[in-house]
Each structure stands twice: as C-alpha cells, then as structure tokens.
Amino acid sequence: MQTEPTNTEPRWHLYRLLSEPVRLRLLALAAEEELSVGELAELLGEPQPNVSRHAAPLRQAGILADRRDGTRTLVRLADHVAADAVIVDALSAGRQLCTADGSLARVPDVVARRDARAREFFAQPGAVEVGVSPNLPAYLHAFGGLLKERELAVDAGTGDGVLLDILAPLFERVVALDRSAAQLARAKERVAQRGYRNVELLECDIADPRVTDRVGAGADLVVAARVLHHAPRPRPAFRELANLARPGGTVLVIDYAPHDDEHFSERLADLWLGFSEAELRSFALDAGLLDVRVTELPRELFRTGPDAHLSWIIASGTRSRGSEGQTNNGARARKNGKKPS
C-alpha cells in the first residue's frame, strides 16, 4: 500500500530525513528495483531491523511505498517523488554511494536468485508419462472468454460426462444427453463434484423432441464422441446431430477408424467397427454441412483405455446459414408424429 506524502512536517524536516547515508543508499536501491527488506539488508550490509527502522520514516513521508507479499515486505520508490528536486538530488547522492560500495551492481544478482528455488524444483526429473492436468477445466474457463460463439453446446452421448470438463468451462450452457441412466448417474456425479451449474442432463436419444426443445434455435457446437458406432443408422444419426446446430454452428464427430476387433461388437455392444474417412465425409455432406474436414487423430494423444489400440477419426463441419428454422421445424414435426424434412 502506497503512503501519500504528509504535509504536516515543515520542509526542513525532509532535509534532516535525507541526511543519513544509509537512507540515501536505501532510496537509490529501491529506485533501481522493488526489493524486500531482506534483500535490502543483504545489499546494504545491515541487519533487517535496522533497514526497517530506516525505511519507516521514508514510508511515512511518502517517499517509499511498500506492499505485503506473504510474510515479506517489498519496498520501492514512490511514483510521484521523481518530481521533487530535493529527492532527485538525494537519489543522485545515493546512487554514487551505492556505485562506490558495489551494492548497485549486485541488484541484478539478488533479483536473479529469487527464482533459483523454482528453477531447482523444475529441474528435477519428473515422471516419464505425461498426463492431462487436473486443472484443465480451470484453464479452459480462462480461455473461454476468447471464444466468440459460446452460448450453447450439445454433448450427444455424454456417457460419464468426460467431455463436460471441456465444454462446461467454455460454454455458457451445455445440454448433455445419453440413453443410459447408469452413465448419466456418473455424469451427474461429475457435474456435482465440479460444481457445473450450466449443465443440463437428459436421459434420451438424439431424436427425442426434448433435445430440440432445449436447443431452441440451435447450438454453437454439437459434439458426438464415440457415439456413431452405436447408432443403428449412422447416416440419419449424423443428420440428427447436424439439425441440432444453429446456422453457422459447428458439428464435431469423433469415432473409430475401421478396425477388425470383434471384441467391441461382442462385449461392448458396438454396432459398427469404425468408419472410413470417405464414409464420414459422405455423412457430413449428406447432412448439409459446409467446410467439412475429416482427419485421423494422432495416436500419441490417446494412451489408455480399452480402445487405445484403435485409430480415432474426426469429422467436422459447419451448418449452412441457409438452414434457419429447420431445427424448430424438425421439433414441431416430431411432436406431430411426422418425419422432419
């Protein structure tokens, strides 16, 4: 907290205050760098109580400013004092004294030692395995303000809600749906533990009218991660996903590339053993998406889980801006028992 100069003392008091060589040196060092009392004691060759005793009247006069940092007190020259001719002259005298005793030249070394402990800590060898930071949701929340369109995201087939740790910090509202009550119970626990108040969980499939009702005019982002291989009819399912996006919104599908591991069909209820890039591109174009991109994910990015040996593939695209009204029209058609156009 910076102390303003007092006007209760006569002007001659300032000359008496600055007549002490230790104070002149202290001023010069504090003008060079914001320093802790301990660092000033080291540079001045004085005990810390002596430094505090000399600094106190300078703070009271508003010549020095200080702030607390934990148990430390850091001192610097007050911003306004450079306009005072008397203090400017005192600083000049103090710099001459500090130059002569070498303390001014040692200031960079003192500052450099501040991070020696941190450098030593981070220089220690760590674990070879690189994991995702448990603070990722916090970092994403910080980055969220950089996104232009982040009003609503849909997590289709949320499962245990792992994607909610990405979507909830970034978007103002998230609608997460899954057909499994058991999976949604796990997602609900995640939501509660993380304190996500912007997530709505729905037990239903993509075509349920409740989803479109919640989405309204459409979502900025619709995500389906490892969902399409469970869909009885993947092409129409892709179309349903696209219909949940607003005009100009993005659809992102993550699934497996073609594989021959029948284990997934026998024990994990997968209906399809992956999709080729051509198939996903065809699904996306058939759904009316623009700027379609289909790429394989780098294998280095996924290392654990029963499907870590498979190749993953992503398909993304943007819903045409000429599709205004289709989402709501689709909802009304379903309520009337008709197939949406």
CATH number for the domain including 34?
1.10.10.10
What's residue 35's pLDDT? 93
* Within a domain: 129: no
Q: Check which CATH number belongs to the domain holding 161 and give it.
A: 3.40.50.150
Together in a domain, 29 and 58: yes
Residue that terminates a domain, selected from 122, 146, 162:
122
* Contact between residue 258 and residue 214 where contact means Cβ atoms under 8 Å apart: no
Number of domains in the chain: 2
Together in a domain, 223 and 273: yes
Together in a domain, 170 and 28: no
Question: What amino acid is encoded at 316 in this protein?
Answer: S
Unique residue bearing structure tokens 């499994």: 180
* Within a domain: 115: yes
Range(s) of the domain holding residue 100: 11-122
Task: Please give the helix or strand (H or E) that residue 67 lies within, else none.
Answer: strand 64-69
d(CA 291, CA 245): 14
* Within a domain: 204: yes
Together in a domain, 19 and 115: yes
What's residue 10's pLDDT? 73
- Tens of pLDDT along the chain (341 residues)? 444 444 456 777 888 889 999 999 999 999 999 999 999 999 999 999 999 999 999 999 999 999 888 888 899 999 888 888 999 999 999 999 999 999 999 999 998 888 776 677 667 665 555 556 678 778 888 877 777 889 999 999 999 999 999 999 999 999 999 999 999 999 999 999 999 999 999 999 898 999 999 999 999 999 999 999 989 899 999 999 999 999 999 999 999 999 988 888 877 778 899 999 999 999 999 999 999 999 998 877 766 778 888 899 999 999 988 765 554 444 434 344 443 33
Residue that terminates a domain, selected from 122, 154, 187:
122
Together in a domain, 260 and 167: yes
- The DSSP annotation for 266-280 comes to HTS--SSS---HHHH
Residues in Cβ contact with 139 at an 8 Å cutoff, skipping those fewer than 6 apart: 133
Together in a domain, 67 and 175: no
* Within a domain: 200: yes
Together in a domain, 140 and 118: no
* Within a domain: 128: no
d(CA 96, CA 262): 82
Together in a domain, 141 and 168: yes
Question: How far is CA 114 from each of CA 36, 66, 85, 106, 121, rounded to the nearest angstrom?
Answer: 11, 18, 33, 13, 13
Residue that terminates a domain, selected from 89, 122, 155:
122
Together in a domain, 173 and 98: no
Alpha helices in the chain (DSSP H): 11-17, 21-32, 37-44, 48-60, 85-101, 103-112, 116-122, 136-144, 164-170, 181-194, 209-215, 234-243, 263-266, 277-286, 326-335
Per-residue tokens: 36? 């802790």
Together in a domain, 141 and 265: yes
What's residue 166's pLDDT? 92
* Within a domain: 250: yes
Together in a domain, 287 and 220: yes
Together in a domain, 205 and 283: yes
Report phi then psi at 167, rounded to 5: -75, -45
Question: What amino acid is encoded at 150 in this protein?
Answer: R
